[in-house]
Amino acid sequence: MNYAGKRVLVTGGLGFIGSNVAVRLAREGAAVTVLDSTVRGCGANTHNLAPFSAQIDVINDDIGALSTYHSSVVGTDVVFNLAGEISHINSMRDPVRDLELNTTSQLRFLLALRDICPGVKVVYASTRQVYGVPQYLPINESHPINPIDFNGIHKHAAASYHRLLTARGELDATIMRLTNIYGPRMALNIPEQGVLGHFFRRALNGEDIEVFGDGQQLRDPVYVDDIVEACLLAGEQKALPNTNMNVGGLEALPLAEMARILVAEAGSEVRFRPFPDGHKSIDIGSFSTDNSFIREILGWAPTVPFATGARLTLEYYREHREHYLP
Amino acid sequence: MNYAGKRVLVTGGLGFIGSNVAVRLAREGAAVTVLDSTVRGCGANTHNLAPFSAQIDVINDDIGALSTYHSSVVGTDVVFNLAGEISHINSMRDPVRDLELNTTSQLRFLLALRDICPGVKVVYASTRQVYGVPQYLPINESHPINPIDFNGIHKHAAASYHRLLTARGELDATIMRLTNIYGPRMALNIPEQGVLGHFFRRALNGEDIEVFGDGQQLRDPVYVDDIVEACLLAGEQKALPNTNMNVGGLEALPLAEMARILVAEAGSEVRFRPFPDGHKSIDIGSFSTDNSFIREILGWAPTVPFATGARLTLEYYREHREHYLP
């Protein structure tokens, strides 16, 4: 990696992926600025970067207000644009909030960014959710876009801004379509932030894990260190040949199997229950990722099996529990 | 048609397509309410409905404020959702304005509508612009979505709201992807509202018509009465089998040929000039529509050749000139 001395900006840098990216970049010797609005419910946690306060500069503000702190962004070499609300279920409860957080703020941010840092490299975190219910598995980048929740519509609109501004030569964006990610620094106390955080919280509390339906839906979880590696590799490359890139896991596992791995560590049990109201309609069934494109272009492949990543994750939270499950 | 006694709501009803739909519905005996914000530059013209003020009720407000006049919408049978900003070039100049007009307002409108009139039939005016640069001609509904301007991104997000709420059974929307439309009641004094309005204005003024590039780009213009017929047919059908429907013209003509037809009426000439700054990057080249799906589902086909529609259009504006080219 070639980040020593580079100026990098990480939006959403107090959140799960953002903080892991920021910490890794600081270790690589980059000059890291984090921009995070700490919107309630989006996963920001000041402890995520607290041990690194000497190396990482944190600005607490909405990304949509970028023009007001212009000077701290001038000269940025790479932007890791990881701010956003990831909750599908919250987006159904309050679509207007989701639009503001994921689309309007991103538009304002990108318009300011292209003026302040024309042509700058941007790595944007999109989501597998834009594909909707899979028409085939594993999913590659040419699968139709059919999101089945507002979150997917809004994240796709923001990705389209990145694509459009890149086609016009005003930015140089790569759009990473991320599958389920887990690992240190994820929010555990926000049920709407996804099934894996919920599973880990139950395991850490020694509680049984509830699985909706029969739990046979496949997911291909990625350990966050693998995602960080993919983001940093993408951030080093100029003008990649396609703006969209799937980033999926090493193995596709049933949700019930992930739950079993975790209860084995926790000494508890898996319990099955019907989907609650509101969840079934936005469930996409099974999902797995075709990683051929990112492997070819960046030489990246996931390396951490879920059983290993789960153990590493539980170790982190046992050590830092008071900051995540107070 | 079966609209006699029906309660219909037409958003954007003071604009070009909206006013033509509203007038036709009133003639069919429907109880017509128009909702129009008369945002400057979007084509609203109070004269469009002034001769029909006894039959058509006009509410001047933003569609995004729907909940505040709730009672006038209760019991609506069909919504013709035609409000929006259609200017590609304006969307590049002020993308945040375009987002507000085409996406945020639509989201607020649809969320209120599903609560006030659950399951109501909605006919939404989307645009061929969502396809971007054609990968093949004529374009059918499964062509990839790749808009090359903010307007296309925002109109597509709004169409996605219609699709999502329809899939959830909360609305019953049909999304019409409209190509270039012309005819009585279009705005002629807003250059950003499209090439055909510009051509007609020049012709009415007896001026030469300027064509960008060589003018060989194909378009398949539709006379507005044909579009009105398609909208009304769609509005009568419940639960159509696909939410997206192309609505294109009878013939694909080079822009230069359309200009020639108009200057022949005007006694002026066609002049060719290079694309001005900002226009070339959002030009999609040639476009023509595959109408197979709407023909099969609604039995609709365009009926008016451009030469005929152009003459009818010029006649209308010669009679009502003071309201369109003051």
Q: Where are the domains of chain A?
A: 7-187+223-249+289-304
pLDDT surpassing 80 at residue B192 = no
Residues 6+ apart with CB under 8 A from B153: A157, A160, A161, A164, B147
Nearest by CB to residue B153, choosing from A96, A150, A160, is A160
> Which residues of chain B are at the A interface, by a Cβ-Cβ cutoff of 8 Å?
95-96, 99, 103-104, 107-108, 111, 145-150, 153-154, 156-157, 160-161, 163-164, 167-168, 281
The minimum CA-CA distance between B318 and chain A, rounded to whole Å, is 41
Name the stretches of chain A with pLDDT < 70.
none
Strands B56-60 vs B31-36: parallel, antiparallel or unpaired:
parallel
Of B111, B148, B163, the CB nearest to A164: B148
pLDDT average, residue stretch B197-203: 94
**pLDDT value of position B72:** 86
- Bridge-partner residues for A80, per DSSP? A10, A123
Long-range CB contacts for residues A290-293, cutoff 8 Å, separation at least 24:
A290/A138, A290/A139, A290/A140, A290/A246, A290/A248, A291/A246, A291/A247, A291/A248, A292/A140, A293/A140, A293/A141, A293/A242, A293/A245, A293/A246
Nearest by CB to A108, from B96, B154, B156: name it.
B96
- pLDDT (tens digit per residue) in A130-144: 999 999 999 999 999
Q: Closest to B167 (Cβ–Cβ): which among A103, A148, A154?
A: A148
pLDDT at position A140, please?
97
pLDDT of residue A326: 83
- Which pLDDT score is estimated for B70? 80
Distance CA(A212)–CA(B73), nearest Å, equals 39
- Overall size of chain B counted in residues: 326
Of the listed ranges A58-67, A191-200, B80-89, B193-202, the least confidently predicted one is: A191-200
Interface contact B157-A154, CB threshold 8 A: yes
pLDDT at B42: 86
Which phi and psi angles does A320 have, rounded to 5°? -115, 25
Write down the pLDDT at residue A112. 96
pLDDT at site B241 = 84
Torsion angle, alpha carbons of A14, A16, A19, A25, to 10: -150
- The enclosing H or E element of A60 equals strand A56-60
pLDDT at B151: 96
For B282, nearest residue in chain A (alpha carbons)? A168
- Gap from B164 CA to chain A (nearest CA, Å): 6
Q: Which residues of B touch A107 (CB under 8 A)?
A: 95-96, 99
Enumerate chain A positions whose Cβ falls within 8 A of a Cβ in B.
95-96, 99, 103-104, 107-108, 111, 145-150, 153-154, 156-157, 160-161, 163-164, 167-168, 281
Among A147, A164, A168, beta carbon nearest to B160: A147
Give the phi and the psi of residue B137 in degrees, each rounded to 5: -130, 150
Tell me what the mean pLDDT of segment B285-291 comes to: 96
- Using a CB-CB cut-off of 8 Å, the residues of chain A touching B103 are 99, 103, 157
* pLDDT at position B221 over 80: yes
CB atoms within 10 A of CB A86: 26
Query: B71 exposed, middle or buried (CB, 10 Å; 0-12, 13-18, 19+)?
Result: exposed
Q: CA-CA distance, A117 to A66, in Å (whole number)?
A: 12
Contact by Cβ (8 Å): A33, A10: yes
Q: How many CB pairs under 8 A join A and B?
A: 56
ipTM over 0.90: yes
Nearest CA in chain B to A93: B111
- To the nearest 10°, report the CA torsion of B21, B22, B23, B27: 100
Confidence of residue B276 (pLDDT cuts 50, 70, 90): confident
Minimum Cα–Cα distance from B158: chain A residue? A153
pLDDT at position B150 is 97
Instruction: Write out chain B residues lying below 8 Å of A282, CB-based.
Output: none
Instruction: Provide CATH code, domain A7-187+223-249+289-304.
Output: 3.40.50.720
> What are the chain B neighbours of A108 within 8 Å (beta carbons)?
96
Q: Could you say which architecture CATH assigns to the domain B7-324?
A: 3-Layer(aba) Sandwich (3.40)
pLDDT more than 70, % of chain B: 100
Contact (Cβ atoms closer than 8 angstroms) between residue B66 and residue B73: yes
Q: B259: distance to nearest CA of chain A, Å?
A: 30
Q: Which residues of A touch B169 (CB under 8 A)?
A: none
- Return d(Cα A78, Cα A96) in angstroms, integer: 30
Which of B66, B106, B153 to probe by mutation at the A interface, max A CB count within 10 Å? B153
Dist CA A74 CA A40 (whole Å): 28
The answer to whether A99 contacts B107, with C-beta atoms less than 8 Å apart, is yes
Q: Which pLDDT score is estimated for B193?
A: 77
pLDDT tens track for B42-61: 899 999 999 999 999 999 99
What's the pLDDT tens digit per position in A215-249? 999 999 999 999 999 999 999 999 998 889 999 99
CA angle B91, B234, B84 (to 5 degrees): 20
Question: Which residues of B are less than 8 Å from A99 in CB distance?
Answer: 103-104, 107
Q: What are phi and psi of B266, to 5 degrees?
A: -90, -15
* Residue contact B153–A157, C-beta within 8 A: yes
CA B207, CA B153: separation in Å to the nearest integer? 35
CA distance B147 to chain A (A): 8
Q: How far apart are CA B170 and CA B158, in angstroms?
A: 15
pTM here is: 0.95
Q: What pLDDT score does B326 carry?
A: 83
pLDDT band at B197 (very low <50, low <70, confident <90, very high): very high
Residue B280 reports pLDDT greater than 90: no
Q: Is A157 in contact with B154 (Cβ distance < 8 A)? A: yes
